[in-house]
Amino acid sequence: MADATPWCSTLSRSDDEAGAGTSSRVRDWLLIQQPGPWGRDALTQSRLDAGLAQRLAAHARAQGVRVLLLRRHGRGASQARAQCYLAHTGPDASFVEGRRVDDLEELLDVNLARLRAGQRPGFGPLVERPLYLVCTNGRHDRCCAARGRPLAAALDAAYPEQVWEASHVGGCRFAGTVVCFPHGLYFGALDPADGLRVAERYERGLIDLTHFRGTPWLDPVAQAAESFVRRAEGLQAVGELALERREVLDGGDVAIGFRTRSGARYRARIATRPAPTARHLTCDAPSPLHPPVYALVDLSTDPAS
């Protein structure tokens, strides 16, 4: 008998849930090509050697680096060499280095401390073209597979060699989800046409604000504030806003200060409240929760220096 439980992404879309402020908080990434099926915990539930997977997880965890598995859409054959990337996504520098690796044991010797410091680790050549990671791990959430694979197919047809299916990136209810590198920007609730629009704009250094979920090195409140400021002022350029200050106000609201490239400053006051209606954050969540909802209380020009 078919499962009649509504899918988490369907509920999110029907409620017109805002995605701003829902990017995972990540600065540093280790991306490993690993074709074939993935389990819920992709790194340890794949065709990778179990011992190696555990050592890679520990190596990355010690430096706060997130590991994702990658595979090409529709090209699942195993290969002798794996394409791997190291990425840093931060306010001062965002870059991706990549190369093919003969033996994944080599990744245990990579200097992840340099990556964490925002310095190029010398892993491989700088990747010049954008990379698009589409979450398709159906073992983690059925929405990721059902909505992610058509999205990956459309992007792969338009940007061959720049698109990867990826294991869990976070925010299953916002499937289809794309993470755009080198900046690691998160976009969600994408159908194939939406994804093509996001990528086309990102190729030109612009952010599709309709589907923008957040900048991964910012905390959720600052992510939401960035989205509010960008929409209000029509600021679409990647890297246009720099976080300058964050202040918790009486009553719990948070004031976030940004500066533009031209020197203009904005101050956004953000209120955070639990969503009025409980929702399942994933299809397999044992019980519904009230995720935070962000509201713009005030937006003003900020004279602070």
Give me the count of residues in the chain: 305
Q: Give domain status of residue 244, yes or no.
A: no
Q: What is the pLDDT of residues 281-303, one digit of tens each?
A: 999 888 889 999 999 999 998 66
In this structure, what DSSP letter does residue 6 have? P
Q: Give domain status of residue 302, yes or no.
A: no
Q: Give domain status of residue 223, yes or no.
A: no
Q: Give domain status of residue 189, yes or no.
A: yes
Q: Give domain status of residue 33, yes or no.
A: yes
Domain span at residue 162? 1-218
Q: Give domain status of residue 26, yes or no.
A: yes
Helix (H) / strand (E) element for 114: namely: helix 112-116
Residues 6+ apart with CB under 8 A from 7: 142, 143, 146, 283
Q: Residue 305: its pLDDT value, please?
A: 46
Domain CATH number, residue 213: 3.40.30.10
Are 151 and 169 spatial neighbours (Cβ–Cβ below 8 Å)?
A: no
Q: What is the CB-side half-sphere exposure of residue 191 using CA atoms within 13 A? A: 3
Amino acid (one-letter) located at 130: P
Q: What is the pLDDT of residues 221-278, one digit of tens each?
A: 999 999 999 999 999 999 999 999 999 999 999 999 999 999 999 999 999 999 998 8
Q: Give domain status of residue 67, yes or no.
A: yes
What is the three-class DSSP state of 227?
helix
Q: Give domain status of residue 213, yes or no.
A: yes
What is the three-class DSSP state of 260?
strand
Q: From CA 225, how far away is CA 203, in angstroms rounded?
A: 24
Amino acid (one-letter) located at 15: D
The model carries a pTM of 0.94
Closest CA to 74 of 191, 153, 146, 166: 153
Q: From CA 275, how far away is CA 67, in angstroms rounded?
A: 30
Peptide bond into 36 cis (omega under 30): no
Q: From CA 73, how far away is CA 29, in angstroms rounded?
A: 21
Q: What total of structural domains would you count in the chain?
A: 1
Q: What is the pLDDT of residues 34-77, one digit of tens each?
A: 988 888 888 888 888 899 999 999 999 999 999 999 999 976 55
